[in-house]
Structure 1
């Protein structure tokens, strides 16, 4: 009797697990991968249309890499290597910002098409020594040291130094630094160096908080900036791409207008621009990410003029967006165009199993296993050195597998193996109970 129970339980259990092994979760599409043999790891960039199948709620967990036998290989989202940098020292001229009367708009500061600093004096410019000076490092520099050129006369200054990447938003680096030159010869005091520390930036502002700058009017003083710059050739990041969208829907909203834009897929957005129509000269937009029927997330403000072209981009936190809205408090003659910058995700995988490999995307049930891929890539970087990178792989042909059925929870096949496993467990428990009762009823020897 006990042998029969055991045999039944073994047969049913083997049937359950065999069925589970023979019915892997379905996926929407499959991309064949072109990968050069012999590499220790590969990295592939997700194509734009893959985001139409990858579920937002899954966080790209429904993107897997399989071998020729449809078995998952160790894979995960690729984290770029820390950018390499080298020291640099450069000389830059200080550009004076004309002073203005209090309470009146001062000089207008902007960038040219190639990034040069343009300073237009304000209507209320007044006579006197400037207190603000700008200089351009020509590239993003993580500043460590700023040295002023020798002064023509004694000076005792307290200065503030700020940094910016766009001449609009400034980040404080130093407050109340002392710059002093007194006398000449052996007893002279010459302190013209300021230590700096901060994120890389291209533009710097020197504000004289106390004292009068010793530079002669009309002259162009210089500074020497020392720090580190990233190696442009060694940057490890996916390229940024731009999409231009037309308004899909226009609705009145209070005194203003809402312009809605639908992206071709839920793409990872990084920046926004707006372009006005032919009949409009200036506009101010509130950028909103639509996240539901009644919810949205404020992304920032865009100010656009016809003279300024597209205006400077509004950088936003990288996230997948499907519908974006521009709200204008004043109606426009033509719906504006929205330019969206996005950056694709990348998958890194190890060459396990047999090639060729495929990239499967989009599934209601299928998920990528929790491989320790970050540890594996860290070990390969340590072995290969700072310049090591995974071998690039590319997506070739795409084939529709189960399409939208793989994403539909209602269309997903019923997982009958789960209740069958419960039946097996209950039968096993009943068998154990029967055996225990049999042993209790057996007369003692």
Structure 2
């Protein structure tokens, strides 16, 4: 009898231990990875269909790499090495912003699909000379100095200079810098250079804070000097494009909204519009819809005749995962426009730990990638390999469904380990009690 109790207790204990052992994580899909052996690290690009499985609120933490035994290997988002830079000096025109009378709507400033500055005067432009000008550097420049062309007449000015990447958000660079051109000959004062410092930006704004600008609305140029990113040193994923047809159209105010539902929440970074054959020009406000009553303004797309082809420049937007986009036109069109969406896939880097073959697992309600110090590992590998070192590419194969939607949306399975543990404890207590009762009933030695 005592042996039977012990066997039952041992079997229950082994069952609980097996239940509490680490179970393989539940993921929606798996992708086989093909690599060339011998590299110290590998980098892969997430395929488009992976975003349909990766839960949006996990921030890609439910994307892991496992070895042939199903164990996670050191992996994480790939952050490219800082790019190289080279100096640049360019001439650009000063674009005057029309002044407006008090209480009247001011000029509208926006970007075309090529990124060019479009300035539309306000309802009632004032007759006075402008006191604000815009500069388009045509590319992001980390500024160092701005030199004004010689004045047509003597002037002493105070200048404010700001920078922007979208013509909406402005960063102050200089306040009340002196720009002077007075006198002639040996007594002349000629100070037309303003030193700058700041993050790379394409657009610059010049405002006269004191004095009268000598150039008014006449054409004049400035010389901007700084540094631009070296294109040959860029380490970025290639931008991909796909076309989306409108999924919903509705009237909005005096205009119309065109909604576009994407196949997944992709890291959208650019937009491009093509009009129907019956329309030749249009202006759209691009919006990323985030809820019933909320959205993020992405910018303005202006389409003109001959510019709505696949080769037309795009509107760059901050990269973020988005699944519903809206184009708002103040004037209804004869045909719904066609939207092209540009995105760059996220990249995952991993170290070849354990034994292959390696797999990429995507999509889980609860499983998450371990907090590996992947950034420190990349820093060490770049230090050892030099500035030109890059992780070797890993090719992603076709997806194989594992748990599918059950892994992402299913209910939490019941945890049997707790009741089983209680059962083992109760069985152990019963066994101890039975042994104690048996000892109490057993006659003592020497007793009659």
Cα distance in 2 between the residues matched to 1:42 and 1:4: 55
Aligned partner of residue 397 in structure 1, secondary structure: coil
Determine the structure 2 residue equivalent to 1:178. 178
Alignment of 1:111-190 (within 5 A): 131-149=131-149, 154-165=154-165, 170-183=170-183, 189-190=189-190
Aligned pairs for 1:325-340 (under 5 A) are 325-326=326-327, 332-340=333-341
Structure 1 residue 47, shift from structure 2 partner = 0.2
CA shift for structure 1 position 28 = 2.6
1:261 counterpart = 2:256: no
1:92: which partner in 2? 91
Shift of 1:49: 0.8
Q: Does the C-alpha gap of structure 1 residues 198 and 189 become closer, same or farther in structure 2, counting only changes over 3 Å?
A: same
Describe the SS at the equivalent of 2:297: strand
Asked if 1:299 corresponds to 2:307, the answer is no
Partner of 1:380: 381
Contact 1:141–1:200 (8 Å) recurs in 2: yes
- TM-score, normalization by structure 1: 0.77
Q: Is the 8 A contact 2:286 2:301 kept in 1?
A: no
The CA distance in 1 between the partners of 2:67 and 2:333, in whole Å, is 54
What corresponds to 1:404 in structure 2?
405
SS at match of 2:199: coil
Matched, 1:201 2:198: no
Give the TM-score normalised by the residue count of structure 2: 0.76
Structure 1: any 5+ residue segments left out of the alignment? Answer: none
**CA 1:191/1:31 → structure 2, altered by over 3 Å: closer, same or farther?**
same
Q: Find the counterpart in structure 2 of residue 28 from structure 1.
A: 28
- CA deviation profile, 1:210-243 (whole Å, cap 9, x unmatched): 33445699775543x3323222222233333333
Q: How many residues align?
A: 433
Cα deviation digits, residues 338-378 of structure 1 (max 9, x gap):
33333322211111001221111223453322323233223
Partner residue of 1:16?
Answer: 16
Distance 2:189 2:253 in 1: 65
Q: Relative to 1, partners in 2 of residues 1:268 and 1:432: Cα closer, same or farther, differing over 3 Å?
A: farther
- Distance in 2 (alpha carbons) for counterparts of 1:13 and 1:231: 64
Equivalent residue number for residue 75 of structure 1: 75
Query: Do structure 1's residue 249 and structure 2's residue 245 form an aligned pair?
Result: no
Aligned residue for 2:444? none
Shift of 1:327: 5.4
State the Cα RMSD in Å.
4.4
Q: CA deviation at 1:46?
A: 0.5
Rounded to whole Å, the distance in 1 between the matches of 2:112 and 2:294 is 32
Q: Secondary structure at the match of 2:420?
A: helix
Deviation, 1:160, is 2.0
Structure 2 contact 262–323 (Cα < 8 Å) conserved: yes
Cα 1:422–1:276 change in 2 (3 A) is: farther
SS at match of 2:232: helix
SS of corresponding position for 2:398: strand
Kindly indicate whether the alpha-carbon contact (under 8 Å) linking 2:165 and 2:201 is maintained by their aligned counterparts in 1.
Answer: yes
